[in-house]
Amino acid sequence: MNPSVPLRRQRDYRLLWSARTISITGSEVSKLAVPLTAITLLAASPFQMGVLTAAASVPALLFGLHSGAIADRLRRHRPLMIGCELVSCAAALTVPLAWFLGVLTIPWLIAVALVIGTAAVLFRSANFPYVAALVPPDQRTAAMAGFNASYSVASVAGPGLAGVLVQVLTAPLAVLVEGISFLVSALLLRTIRTPENRQPAPSRGLWRDVVAGLRVSVTQPVLRALLGAGVTINFFAMAYVAVSMLYMLHTLGIPKGLIGLLTALGGVGGLLGAWAATRLAERYGENKVLLGSVLFFPLEILAVGLLDGPLWWKVTVLALTGTATGGIVVAFASCMSGIILRDTAEELRGRVNATMTFAVQGVMALGGLAGGALAEVLGLRPVILVCAVGIATAILWIWASPLRSPSSRPPSYRQPDSVPLNSSTHQERQVTKRQPLV
């Protein structure tokens, strides 16, 4: 790793970024192609569609915490990542094959969703600590911003590409694109040359390893603040999402055709946020960017909740706030990931990341249910205002933490049961250019 070389000129990072971008875009295509296959070719019932939709997220709930413990046991993460992509490729390719043979069923699609979802959980658990082996400490936030930019591109381009492919190839054959994307990702990962030289801490059993990650996440002050803020933001954000479309259609009178365009602007904002996060973090440090970005989270929801006036004004406000929020979310997420990598011991990174992902993703379902239930009682506009107030409480998590103190340094800590930290973790912190961060 050479910190003097920009990321865009580092061959192995480009390969990893390209692999993720291609794989994510293929997955976005299947988000439309698989449901259309179930509806148009297999006459799926509403219940079957609900099960098919849930199947994609069930693996994260079942295996999310365990995947982090598995990743932390490995000396090398890349073989697991390649294996996950190949398994996902094989599973996706069975859809057009089964359709061609006339044996495709709803349970088949559900099984494919479960396999790909499980592989994705394992991949993410290995990919997060793998970035630390591939990218110098002072470039990790920029690396995370690059990955978040990929998600933004995929969220904008994926649905449109899926619509074209479904129209031209039919829905089952469009799933073929997802399978090919997984295969290309695996091949790109295979060509990465940077060696991994990590020495994992001895395992004390899968469950005790999982508990160690949970314990560090809730006892280390910085990690606890990030966990609390992430859970708060996602809960109220999903409560808002659950009612926002109804609110735009029935209360604000936004035409249906404009809602898709307004949604896409969030992805455009994400690209701007990835660009800004890298430069702001280099100048001010991740801590300051995080402290600043969290202040803006309530503004879009508050503006939407108070919005009134002619249509042109409503659309203008929604476009500006949606674009800005897309950038803020990516900037916050990129700096959050960089800080987690910085402040977590090497042998705990997989478990801490898995704990964070499990919590902030798992709470999304609860937020959606809460938003819908409250709207039945209070109405749409009051719920949106409640979400604005609720998401503002994330500010307290961040500003009341050591992230605010200019003189604070990440505390050293030990794994439970006195398992020693690897000395490489402390050396890595000493060479980080921006420490202490504010």
User: If pLDDT is split at 50, 70 and 90, which confidence band does 1 have?
Assistant: low
Ranges 81-85, 143-147, 258-262, 321-325: which has the least confidence? 258-262
Question: Alpha helices of 393-434 — where are they, by DSSP H?
Answer: 394-399, 423-430
Strand partners, 415: 419
**Is 267:156 a contact under the CB 8 Å cutoff?**
yes
pLDDT of residue 413: 39
Give yes or no for residue 406 having a pLDDT over 60: no
Give yes or no for residue 427 having a pLDDT over 70: no
Q: What is the rounded average pLDDT for all residues in the chain?
A: 83
Give yes or no for residue 405 having a pLDDT over 90: no
Helix (H) or strand (E) holding 400: none
Encode pLDDT of 115-149 as tens digits.
998 998 899 889 888 988 888 888 888 888 888 88
Helix (H) or strand (E) holding 19: helix 11-36
Highest mean pLDDT among 40-49, 72-81, 389-398: 389-398
Give yes or no for residue 431 having a pLDDT over 70: no
The interaxial angle of helices 286-293 and 311-343, nearest 10 deg, is: 150
Q: At CB < 8 A and 24+ separation, what contacts does 410-416 make?
A: 410/222, 410/342, 410/343, 411/220, 411/221, 413/216, 413/219, 413/220, 413/345, 415/201, 415/212, 415/216, 415/345, 415/347, 415/348, 416/208, 416/211, 416/212, 416/215
The interaxial angle of helices 256-284 and 311-343, nearest 10 deg, is: 40
Residue found by looking up tokens 């000129």 in the block: 9
Residue found by looking up tokens 């129209």 in the block: 167
Residue 437 or 239, more confident? 239
DSSP 3-state of 405: coil
| CA pair distance 341, 346, nearest whole angstrom | 8
pLDDT of residue 408: 44
User: If pLDDT is split at 50, 70 and 90, which confidence band does 103 have?
Assistant: very high
Strand partners, 419: 415
Neighbours of 413 (CB within 10 A): 16
Is residue 432 classed exposed, middle or buried when 0-12, 13-18 and 19+ CB atoms within 10 A define those classes? Answer: middle
Give yes or no for residue 245 having a pLDDT over 90: no
Give yes or no for residue 47 having a pLDDT over 90: no
Residue 170 or 119, more confident? 119
pLDDT of residue 434: 32
User: If pLDDT is split at 50, 70 and 90, which confidence band does 347 have?
Assistant: confident
The rounded radius of gyration (Å) of the Cα atoms in the chain is: 22
Encode pLDDT of 297-306 as tens digits.
999 899 999 9
Is residue 73 classed exposed, middle or buried when 0-12, 13-18 and 19+ CB atoms within 10 A define those classes? Answer: middle
Neighbours of 401 (CB within 10 A): 21
Helix (H) or strand (E) holding 412: none
